[in-house]
Amino acid sequence: MNFLIGNNGQGKTNILEAVYYLALLRSFRTSMIDDLCQWPQNSFVLHGLLESAPNPPETLAVSYGSERRLLINDAPVYRASDFINRFLCVTFIPQDMDLVCGPPAQRRRFLDIAISQLDAGYLRHLQAYYEALKSRNAMLKAPDKFPPATIRAYDHVLVKHAVAIELARRNFAVSMNAILVEKSRQLFGEQQLVILKYLSRLGFFLESCEGDEEELTKAYNHGLQHGFERDLKSGTTNCGPHRAELNCLLDQKLLHKFGSQGEMRMASLAMRFALLELIRCRQNPDDVVILVDDVIGELDEQRRVNFINELSKSGQILFACTRIPREFTASAQVLKIRGGKIED
């Protein structure tokens, strides 16, 4: 356990964000890469050293300016997919509330990042799908230049990768729900249960699809074929994994519509703990870095204790806070942060 201690505004979250970026080449705070640069600069450089026995140490470096450069052990890396997930990250941050009450895109992002850390092939399907989707949508916006047959030529590629994405997301939700039984009990008590419900956008409506690969393939082909005129009018593809939804329910009620602030906070923590447990089961727990950014202030005493105990089961933990929680009793390294730097 490593505590990053400092007053508000001293840069504790920036350090967590830098670690997260080295793992996933994205921020947990913003989608605008320019926002990661220290004002008034327009570039940044990150370096990291990975040590995970029995593997040899590995250095990671990212530089961003006029272009992004990636290095592993000082050797250039040209594909982001070859750099991402050299180590695994699970976050517990205030923005996690968006997993429950935020827009659907936030939950799809959660799905995609989580599954990519468990299955390298998923990221390849995701990249191929969005590349084909981007091309198809560009043609839909210019129907005078591209005949329908040319636009529809992308349907086969979309369906192939969409089915792989859908199956992976559906299986992930099933695995998460099995773990959420225990995590719900810890955070809500015996009587309440958090579950996730994945809904596919196979056509005009969101729906729960239990079909196998062949049935999903037929459903997506049907959705693209019968929705083509609507796609032409709107200039975008209206069915597919990019329009799916992941609902979070507490005792069968939609939390983002009927849950209290406290219930939504507990549910978001339960989702993160379930993901952490899933990664522990499938990956080396010592390869997981947990990033915590002052999320226990709203918890009662017993849940704070449960939170600390759950965290302590994992590998390296970076816990940003203004002071060490009184519930934490084990030994820990304390790093004092001031002005974005670690003090001696």
Predicted local confidence at residue 62, as pLDDT: 94
Give the number of other CB atoms < 10 A from CB of residue 21. 20
Distances (CA, A) of 307 to 5, 10, 19, 49, 317: 19, 25, 22, 28, 13
Structural domain count, the chain: 1
pTM: 0.89
Q: Which domain covers residue 306, as residue numbers?
A: 2-342
Provide the residue-wise pLDDT of the chain in tens; the chain has 344 residues. Answer: 889 999 988 889 999 999 999 999 888 887 777 778 877 778 899 999 998 878 899 999 999 988 899 999 999 999 888 898 888 899 999 889 989 999 999 999 999 999 998 898 999 999 999 999 999 999 999 999 999 999 999 999 999 999 999 999 999 999 999 999 888 887 776 667 899 999 998 877 768 777 789 999 999 999 999 999 999 999 999 999 999 999 999 888 899 888 888 888 889 999 999 999 998 888 777 778 999 997 887 777 877 888 888 787 777 899 999 888 877 767 788 999 998 888 86
Straight-line distance from the first to the last Cα atom of the chain, in angstroms, rounded to the nearest whole number? 18
3-state secondary structure of 257: helix
The DSSP bridge partners found for residue 47 are: 61
pLDDT of residue 329: 67
Contact 314, 285 (CB under 8 A): yes
Provide the pLDDT for residue 310.
78
pLDDT value for 316: 87
Contacts of 93 (CB under 8 A, 6+ apart): 16, 28, 291, 292, 293, 295
CATH code of 272's domain: 1.20.1050.90
Distances (CA, A) of 245 to 43, 92, 145, 195, 319: 35, 22, 33, 14, 31
